[in-house]
Structure 1
Amino acid sequence: MSKELSYTIEEVSQLLKVSKLTLYDLVKKGDLPVFRVGRQMRIDAKDLDDYIKKHKTNQNTTFAPSVAVPHKNETKGNIVISGQDLVLDILGKHIEKHSAYKPLRSFTGSLNSLISMYNGEGDIVSLHLFDGDTGEYNLPYIKKILVGYPFILINLLSRKAGFYVKKGNPLNLASWTDLKREDVKIINREKGSGARILLDEQLRINEIPTRNITGYEHEETNHLSVASAVSTGIADVGVGIEKAAKIIGIDFVPLITEQYDLVILKTPETEQLISTVKGILSSNQFQSEVNSIGGYDTSQIGKIIYETY
Structure 2
Amino acid sequence: MKSRDELSVEDISEILKISKSKVYSLIKSGELPSYKVGRKIRFSEDDIKSYIKGLKQASTPVTHKAIGGTANKGFVLCGQDIILDILSNYMRQHNTPALRAYIGSYDSLIALYRNQVSVASAHLWDSDTDTYNVPYVRRLLPGIPAVIVHLTCRIQGFYVAKGNPKNITKWDDFGRDDITMVNREQGSGSRVLLDENLRLLGIFGRDISGYEKEIQSHLTVASVVASGKADVAIGSEKIAKQVEGIDFVPIKKERYDLVFKREDMGTPEIASLLSIIRSDTFRDEFSHIGGYDTKDMGKIVIEF
> Are 2:200 and 1:205 aligned?
yes
Deviation at 1:176, TM superposition (A): 0.5
Residue 85 of structure 1, aligned match among 77, 81, 85? 81
Deviation at 1:276, TM superposition (A): 1.6
Name the CA distance, whole Å, in 1 between partners of 2:282 and 2:168: 36
State the partner residue of 2:130: 135
Name the CA distance, whole Å, in 2 between partners of 1:151 and 1:72: 20
> Are 2:154 and 1:159 aligned?
yes
Deviation at 1:212, TM superposition (A): 2.3
Conservation of the 8 A alpha-carbon contact between 2:104 and 2:188: yes
State the partner residue of 2:39: none
Task: Label 1:147 to 1:103 Cα distance change in 2 as closer, same or farther (>3 A).
Answer: same
Please list, as runs of the form range in 1=range in 2, the aligned pairs for 1:141-220 lying within 5 A after superposition: 141-220=136-215
State the partner residue of 1:254: 250
> Are 2:298 and 1:302 aligned?
yes
State the partner residue of 1:288: 284
**Deviation per CA, 1:65-98, whole angstroms, max 9, x where unpaired?**
xxxxxx833xxxx311111111111111111122
- Compute the TM-score of the two structures, normalised by the length of structure 2: 0.74
Conservation of the 8 A alpha-carbon contact between 2:206 and 2:212: no
> Are 2:106 and 1:94 aligned?
no
Name the CA distance, whole Å, in 2 between partners of 1:84 and 1:288: 21
Deviation at 1:269, TM superposition (A): 8.1
State the partner residue of 1:229: 224
SS at match of 2:220: helix
**Deviation per CA, 1:118-173, whole angstroms, max 9, x where unpaired?**
11111111110011111110110000011111211000000000100011111111
Structure 1 residues without counterparts, runs of 5 or longer = 1-70
Name the CA distance, whole Å, in 1 between partners of 2:264 and 2:126: 31
Deviation at 1:270, TM superposition (A): 5.8
Name the CA distance, whole Å, in 2 between partners of 1:95 and 1:268: 16
Deviation at 1:268, TM superposition (A): 4.9
Identical aligned pairs, as a percentage?
45
> Are 2:272 and 1:276 aligned?
yes
Counterpart amino acid of 1:239? I
Name the CA distance, whole Å, in 2 between partners of 1:226 and 1:263: 27
Deviation at 1:218, TM superposition (A): 0.9
Name the CA distance, whole Å, in 1 between partners of 2:250 and 2:207: 23
SS at match of 1:72: helix
Provide the aligned C-alpha RMSD in A.
1.4
Counterpart amino acid of 2:219? L
Residue 104 of structure 1, aligned match among 71, 81, 99? 99
State the partner residue of 1:57: none
**Deviation per CA, 1:242-266, whole angstroms, max 9, x where unpaired?**
1111111221100000100000112
Counterpart amino acid of 1:181? R
Name the CA distance, whole Å, in 1 between partners of 2:252 and 2:293: 13
Structure exhibiting the larger radius of gyration computed from Cα positions: 1
Counterpart amino acid of 1:210? G
**Deviation per CA, 1:18-40, whole angstroms, max 9, x where unpaired?**
xxxxxxxxxxxxxxxxxxxxxxx
- Compute the TM-score of the two structures, normalised by the length of structure 1: 0.73
Task: Label 1:120 to 1:109 Cα distance change in 2 as closer, same or farther (>3 A).
Answer: same
SS at match of 2:187: coil
Aligned length: 233
Name the CA distance, whole Å, in 1 between partners of 2:97 and 2:198: 40
State the partner residue of 2:20: none
State the partner residue of 1:72: 72
Deviation at 1:282, TM superposition (A): 1.3
Task: Label 1:217 to 1:268 Cα distance change in 2 as closer, same or farther (>3 A).
Answer: closer
Structure 2 residues without counterparts, runs of 5 or longer = 1-70
